Chains A and B, each alone.
Chain A
Amino acid sequence: MSNVSLTQAIPMLLKAVPRSRNFEAVLLFWVAGIHAFALAQIQLAVSQRMSWDMLYYWAPPTISAWIFHYVLRKYVLNADGLLLPLAFLLNGLGIAMIYRLDLAEITRGGQDLFAERQVWLSCFAMLIAAVVVRLVRNPLVLRRFPYLAGAAAVVLLLLPAAPVIGRTFNGATLWIAIGDLSFQPGEIAKILLAIFFAGYLVSRKGPLSEIGSRVLGMKIPSAKDLGPILLFWVASIAVLVIQRDLGTSILYFGLFLVMIYTATGRGFYVGIGLVMMVTGALVASRLFGYVGARFDAWLAPFATENYTAQGGSYQLVQGLFGMAHGDVIGAGLGSGFPQLIPLAESDFIFAALGEELGLAGIFAILAIYLLIVYRGLRIANTHQDDFSKLLALGLSFVLGLQVFIVAGGVMGLLPLTGLTTPFLAAGGSALLANWSIIALLLVLSDSSLKRVKE
């Protein structure tokens, strides 16, 4: 190995230490064990004995996670080692909880089963994520098409309002359906929007942060540069009106504000953005009945007229009762009554887990989300390239904000929205989008360690 030139030596030194990959493998074993534990506990509690059925819910996702791990080893050796196990842990906990709700449904004689579907959708989402890793090995490729990504995001956002394929469930127009296949395009749109904002802001951050006149000690950007923020505000309000969902609207606008603030370092944007958003939401709550009903249910969930109203606070209150029943250490997986909460397998899986795992368990789940977001922000922090920095920040922030909005909604701290709990809730589009976010973060973390040579 004598006389290695400097340019050869550095990649060699880096490749000699794939510690993150080995650590990831150890964690994957551990997570698979936790999943088996959860499934076994559910079977013991519900039917007093264990059966081989659990293999069906355990093995396919575990195998997919290992395939994903292998792909990472092959293509992005130095990628972050915590993201995959953490996301996989959440995904498996979600499958376990949905399986548990299925068992309750079977006992009740019902037909609405979700666990099997969720298992295969999880496998599919992980394999797609592996494909994303393979395709986007250099994240700078994404920088080439910011406007295409933006346009695609807008189209996806508007699709649910389109005739024929658009679908409305529970008052929110968030789905499209072709035959039996339904899809929530807004989930994919959040990734495309993050790509668009990152690309746009990297090229425009100079004017956005430098130009402007000073008024009352604050630098106000010129009208030309304020245009985009106004445009996007209007777009978010349009989403609110068309999709009838406050959560989606807040999610996209929040993403926009955080990314523009990070790119320019000007608090002005955040200040004016928040004022605009709150104003918009308040006006919407007065003008549109569906938003207003959500506000009423949030402010007074226990009031009789809200509790008994169609689409009122019944679901929220059942969730609150469930979490109260869970207490600190929970009723134990399989021993609570989460089946009493409407839509416990999707919108309210957070409350179902809160009941069966208790405060300690739900804090553990929030800690896992926190770790995922933290790893994402760390990737953003250590990356040398501005576009990748912004993209990593946007992707991890959007995940965190979504958890915040959903958890806040289920706990009655925020108005209830139609957003899904990432990785936990039943639903293919959300799994696909969130696993793709993990894939992109992994690719970004890998390239943050490479020398920028081009």
Chain B
Amino acid sequence: MSELALFLIRIGFVAVLWVFILSLLSVIRADLYGRRVISRIAKQNAPMLTAGSAASLGIDDGDSFDPTEIAVLTGRTAGTNIPLENKKEVLIGRAPSSDMVISDEFASSMHAKLVHVGADWVLQDLNSTNGTNLDGKKITTPVTIRAGMTIRIGTTTFELRS
């Protein structure tokens, strides 16, 4: 075994160790940048919606759209339905404790929520990193969902159906 070969092996081993460690950073990066702590809801997004705050918001109850389930159209869980009966609030996000879990790099752990206000379902973005789209437009304020509207979070799209 020549000196040069041994030297290369010696450098090579330490290099392999470091390549291994650095490759793990791809996992850790998600920890460092992936989740943002939600400190406060952005001003125009306020006030924080809760079920039963219909009167204070002045949201009209004229529409007769009364959805009973969330239908996931695209994304990892495409085809599943989540029933809405007897629910006041549906928390959507990557956190396993969410009511609707979206396993997607583009979803925040607490991404958005649907709140039952009066007879309507209102969508509110919880200051997510990548935003919530309603019919292709990013929402900045709580929006009442009408029949046929499509919500997109990351690569997952879903709609409310009656």
Contacts and interface: CB of A to CB of B under 8 A. Distances in A.
A13 B70 CA distance: 15
A82 interface: yes
B58 interface: no
Interface residues of B, number: 30
Given A4-B80, A10-B96, A13-B103, A82 B9 contact: no
Interface stretch (B14-22, B59-67, B118-126, B131-139): B14-22
Interface string A330-347: 111101000000000000
Contact of A5 (B6, B20, B76, B83): B83
Nearest to B102: A13
B24 A82 contact: yes
Interface in A364-415: 364-365, 367-368, 371, 374, 378, 384
A335 B10 contact: yes
Interface residues of A, number: 49
Contact of B96 (A6, A82, A450): A450
Given A10-B96, A450-B96, A30 B20 contact: yes
Interface string B68-79: 000000001101
B11 interface: yes
Given A378-B31, A449-B96, A1 B14 contact: no
B57 interface: no
Contact of B1 (A14, A44, A333, A367): A44
Interface in B27-50: 27-28, 31
Contacts of A357: 13-14, 17
A34 B20 contact: yes
Contact of A16 (B9, B18, B103): B103
Contacts of A81: 27
Contact of A6 (B17, B27, B31, B83): B83
Interface in A37-57: 37-38, 41, 44-45, 48
A399 to B, nearest CB: 17
B81 interface: yes
A45 B103 CA distance: 49
Contact of B81 (A2, A37, A330): A2
A367 B79 contact: no
List of 4 A-B pairs having minimum Cβ-Cβ separation, nearest first: A332-B10, A364-B17, A13-B101, A360-B14
Interface of B: 1, 6-7, 9-14, 16-18, 20-21, 24, 27-28, 31, 76-77, 79-83, 96-97, 99, 101, 103
Interface of A: 1-6, 9-10, 12-14, 16-17, 23, 27, 30-31, 34, 37-38, 41, 44-45, 48, 81-82, 86, 89, 329-333, 335, 357-358, 360-361, 364-365, 367-368, 371, 374, 378, 384, 449-451
29 contacts: A1-B79, A2-B81, A3-B81, A3-B83, A6-B82, A6-B83, A6-B99, A13-B76, A16-B103, A23-B27, A34-B16, A34-B17, A34-B20, A41-B10, A44-B6, A44-B9, A45-B1, A86-B24, A332-B7, A357-B13, A361-B13, A361-B14, A364-B18, A365-B17, A371-B24, A371-B28, A378-B31, A384-B97, A451-B97
